[in-house]
Amino acid sequence: MTEGVAISISDVSLNYPLNNKGIGLLREILTGRVKKESTRLFRALEKISLDVKKGEVVGLMGANGSGKSTLLRVIAGIYAPDEGSVKVRGRVTLLAGIGTGFQYDLTGRENILLTGSIYGYSKKEISNMEEEIIEFSGVREFIDQPIRTYSAGMRARLGFAIVSNLEPDILLLDEVMSVGDTDFRQKSRNKIEQLIKGDATVVIVSHSKSIIKSMCDRVFAIDDGKIITDGSIDTALEYYESIGK
């Protein structure tokens, strides 16, 4: 892996199940309980190669189903590629969707502890971060209530607050920068900028042209599981607009 590179993706291809069982079948495939030869598959990613430098902010844009979120999950190690390789240098955290990974019967505070432990932090380390996470999220009044009582926006704010305050080396964000009110969106951008100044590497999946233009060093349009553009922000935006999202 080249010095100064945080993420190295080389000729990565991934097949995805195509039938009515959805995520249940995918879980069986990934755990080896179903043989891919007996399952209808489609090519979710096709020969993707990309290096992301340490401290760089890279954006991924494309229509729904284009493969951009799948690529994030491959980088995070959730999906193993069928072909090619992915190498990362440093601690990787992924924030995808609203409240992904939360245990809904646990309180917000308990979910802070659980999420931090999943990422390898000790109880003491998480305790030291807890106050800042609660303050940033803006859900202090409800922090000792079960997550199932939270609104979608509250879950999203708490999820972002936890992951961003873990100070990852590599932060992967999947459509989470536009959640919450105007003030929280600005806080989120400021937090990302703070992480970048601390040498964090960030990969953002977003449909927001303003986020892409203001935060990213390079942007790639993805279509049909392939990287289409060369990293130019303007070129990626033009392609994205041409396909009508």
Kind and range of the H or E element at 28? helix 22-30
Comparing 76 with 166, the larger pLDDT belongs to 76
Please tell me the total count of domains within the chain: 1
User: Which of 8-12, 37-41, 209-213, 231-235 shows the lowest mean pLDDT across its residues?
Assistant: 37-41
Are 133 and 112 in contact by the 8 Å Cβ rule? The answer is yes
Which residues form the domain of 226? 5-242
Residue-wise pLDDT for 203-240, tens only, equals 999 888 888 898 899 999 999 999 999 999 999 999 99
> What is the spatial distance between Cα 174 and Cα 95, in angstroms, rounded to a whole number?
6
Q: Is it the case that residue 180 has pLDDT exceeding 70?
A: no
Are 212 and 203 in contact by the 8 Å Cβ rule? The answer is no
Where does the pLDDT of residue 54 fall: very low under 50, low under 70, confident under 90, or very high at 90 and above?
A: very high
Where does the pLDDT of residue 157 fall: very low under 50, low under 70, confident under 90, or very high at 90 and above?
A: confident
Comparing 117 with 27, the larger pLDDT belongs to 117
Whole-model pTM: value is 0.80
Average pLDDT, the chain: 86
Query: At residue 221, what are phi and psi to the nearest 5 degrees?
Result: -85, 135
CA distances for 52 relative to 179, 180, 201, angstroms:
26, 29, 8
> 204: domain CATH number?
3.40.50.300
- Could you tell me which residues are beta bridge partners of residue 94? 172
